[in-house]
Amino acid sequence: MQQGKQETAMTAKVRVLVVDDSVFFQRRITDILQRDSSIEVVGHAGDGLQAVTAARKLNPDVITMDVEMPVMNGINAVKRIMAESPTPIIMLSAFTHEGAKATLDALDAGAVDFFPKPQSGFNSSDLIEKQLLQRILALGLKRQILKERATGLQKQTNREHQRRGGYKLVVIGASTGGPVAMQQLLSALPADFPLPLLLVVHMPESFTPAFAARLNAQCNIGVKEARDGDVPQRGQAYLAPGGKQMTLQQQGSRVEIRISNSLPTQTYRPSVDVTMGSAGLVYPDGVLGVVLTGMGADGKLAAQQLKAGGSTIWSQDEASCIVYGMPQAVEKAGLSDRVLPLTEIGPQLVKAV
């Protein structure tokens, strides 16, 4: 996003509808959001049915949605809202195994992101509050830009450096909007896809097992949560475990996946830079890296390393991103060999390898 465009878009406040059956949580979330002068809470709803009505009436830029509510739960509310008055929805969910499954259902229904809602209360740290505000603002900004552009977002100029073959591995990284984007991309790959894939999505530890199982059930290729010592196989995707770091290492004649604890200095756990960078050390000119939707710039450093070694980088285009942060960082640095809409990345991967 060019700075001028961002400043113009943010002159209008991001209007948020808060949905939760607990008055305590409504107030707590509202208090957090009101700490940023760029955000305005325009309404509250105590169940899914109220949320559907409020979304239609208030036309907010972003909705925060609880999962478990009376009358109509969050998943069904998301379905109704996306059918009647499409709005970016961020789910506030418990980071448990059951919460993960419900949240993934909500993402399937049309929600674009999720955020932790501790069962003991929303006693979040300053860092967590800051992250929530950043996500709300990013989603609201994208919504406002779409409203302002009558002709829609334009596709970026494509460098179209189309290397064919010679790859050893595909590494795909994503953050905000990543679970849905990853599912759509992988669904386009055939069961006999000739390369292994490493997947990195910024997700908590309790989510990645359920997400890997869901992808495995929905895609033709095999998908699993990576384990330490896995040997990458063709037609198999390995999802980095939440809270950990996944690297690729040469062990004698074998190439293995290593899973390790994250360092205190590592912001992203897992990190696209860590995984993609390690792949470039093993296969300097044999990696096809793909950077999908997400906040921040995770993946940019590794993209620089891969390009220096002769590997290839693709990035998702602005129009199809939920948040054009990570792909933008790669594209603005001149590192993207191809800039593609999400719907084209999977089919183009099949052709490229």
Closest CA to 298 of 210, 201, 212: 201
Q: Which amino acid, one-letter code, is at 216? A: N
User: How many domains would you assign to the chain?
Assistant: 2
Residues 30 and 117 in one domain: yes
Among the options 47, 298, 317, 337, which is catalytic?
298
Assess whether 208 and 113 both reside in one domain: no
Looking at residue 14, its amino acid is V
Q: Which of 119, 148, 177 is the last residue of a domain?
A: 148
**Residue 180 maps to which CATH number?**
3.40.50.180
Q: For residue 124, what pLDDT is reported?
A: 53
Q: Give the domain extent around 120.
A: 12-148
Token pair listed for 6: 């961002």
The string over 242-271, giving b where at least 16 C-beta atoms fall within 10 Å of a residue's C-beta and e elsewhere, is bebbbbbeeeeeebbbbbeeeeeeeebbbb
Question: What confidence score (pLDDT) does residue 129 get?
Answer: 85
Same domain, 304 and 212: yes
Residues 249 and 210 in one domain: yes
> Are 95 and 204 within one domain?
no
**Rounded distance, CA 119 to CA 206, Å?**
14
Residue 278: the pLDDT is 98
Tokens coding 108: 């399937």
Query: Which of 124, 175, 206, 336 is labelled catalytic?
Result: 175
- Judgement on whether residues 137 and 230 belong to the same structural domain of the protein: no
202 has catalytic annotation: yes
Ranges in the chain, pLDDT < 70 = 1-11, 118-125, 145-164
List the catalytic residue out of 202, 278, 315, 320.
Answer: 202
Give the 3-state secondary structure of residue 246.
Answer: strand
88, with CB counted inside 10 A (0-12, 13-18, 19+), is buried
Q: Provide the residue type at 235 as one letter.
A: G
Read off the CATH number of the domain in which 114 is found.
Answer: 3.40.50.2300
The 10 Å CB-count burial string (b at 16+, else e) for 124-163 is beeeebeebbbbbbbbbbbbbbeeeeeeeeeebeeeeeee
> Are 138 and 224 in the same domain?
no
Tell whether 213 and 328 lie within a shared domain: yes
Given 99, 116, 148, which residue is the final one in a domain? Answer: 148
Do 19 and 43 touch, CB atoms closer than 8 A?
no
